[in-house]
Amino acid sequence: MSRQFQSFREFYPFYLSEHSNRTSRRLHFIGSCGVLVLLLVAVAQRNAWWLLAALACGYGFAWVGHFFFEKNRPATFRYPFYSFVGDWVMFRDIIAGRIKF
């Protein structure tokens, strides 16, 4: 049974606990960088197909981190919106030095 969160603020500590493995966090970060690059390519080439590549890149790297390093099920399956936001907040927190890379 999935836990119900009342807010993202309540969800984020859970999200971080699901990303305790450093290699998994690194894979998430690399995937997020890839997403940003592919979004720029989509805009520069005016080709929406690159958006599919961005989606595959972001989730591909993240899911490898979960299945092979965290050994857990991605939060995306239970909390898709909060998980998506969590990815970008964790990305920002890594850049800001609040989370070890």
Q: Are 58 and 31 in contact (CB under 8 A)?
A: yes
Whole-number Å distance between alpha carbons of 37 and 73: 26
SS3 content of the chain, % helix, strand, coil (to 5): 75, 0, 25
| pLDDT tens column, 10-44 | 999 999 999 999 999 999 999 999 999 999 999 99
Q: Are 18 and 75 in contact (CB under 8 A)?
A: yes
Q: Are 92 and 100 in contact (CB under 8 A)?
A: no
Numbers of helices and strands, H then E, in the chain: 4, 0
- Global confidence as pTM: 0.92
